[in-house]
């Protein structure tokens, strides 16, 4: 029989095991770490001096001191000290720094919503920012309404970041 769950490596109770509460409590601590994880920040390489219980960090590369050998892991401060969960493909956490979702994919942490394009129903609706479009010029007096409408459209596209200003 396996000693841990397949995906999150939570410890399993064994038949006839004494002190089952130790194993059960360890599993609960790990569930607490991984169920909707929140971190203070990502990429820090040394542990903070005065963490609060339950606070977490994404350990940076080339970590030192108490985090040495835990690069990219999720580090949580508990009553028993630092607990670590190695990053795995698809692990997502909320980062308080920048109020954003971070995701571990292709061997690294990145902003979960830093995408090259947005697709709805398989059709690209937003892609990379396009170059600036010059405001209309020239023409005659009746062009004023058309220019006003075009300027409003360009302003909205710029405000949304779809084209450069």
Alpha carbon of residue 120 to chain centroid: 22
Domain spans, the chain: 36-111, 118-159
pLDDT greater at residue 48 or residue 10: 48
74, with CB counted inside 10 A (0-12, 13-18, 19+), is buried
**What residues contact residue 42 under an 8 Å CB cut-off, 6+ apart?**
57, 58, 60, 95, 97, 102, 109
Mean pLDDT over residues 141-158, rounded? 81
Mean pLDDT of all residues belonging to the chain: 85
Please tell me the pTM assigned to this model.
0.66
Per-residue model confidence as pLDDT tens digits over 56-114 = 999 999 999 999 999 999 999 988 899 999 999 999 999 999 889 999 999 999 988 77
Q: For 47, phi and psi rounded to 5 degrees?
A: -65, 145
């Amino acid at each position: 029989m396996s000693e841990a769950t397949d995906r999150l490596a939570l410890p399993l109770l064994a038949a006839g095991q004494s002190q089952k509460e130790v194993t059960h409590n360890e599993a609960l601590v790990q569930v607490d770490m991984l169920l909707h994880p929140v971190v203070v920040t990502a990429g820090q390489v040394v542990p903070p001096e005065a963490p609060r219980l339950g606070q977490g960090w994404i350990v940076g590369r080339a970590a030192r001191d108490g985090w040495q050998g835990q690069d990219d892991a999720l580090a949580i401060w508990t009553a028993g000290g630092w607990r670590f969960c190695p990053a795995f493909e698809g692990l997502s956490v909320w980062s308080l720094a920048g109020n954003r979702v971070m995701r571990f994919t292709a061997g690294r942490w990145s902003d979960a919503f830093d995408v090259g394009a947005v697709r709805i129903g398989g059709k690209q609706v937003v892609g990379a920012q396009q170059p600036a479009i010059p405001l209309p010029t020239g023409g005659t007096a009746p062009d004023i309404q058309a220019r006003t409408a075009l300027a409003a459209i360009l302003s909205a596209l710029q405000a949304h970041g779809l084209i450069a200003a």
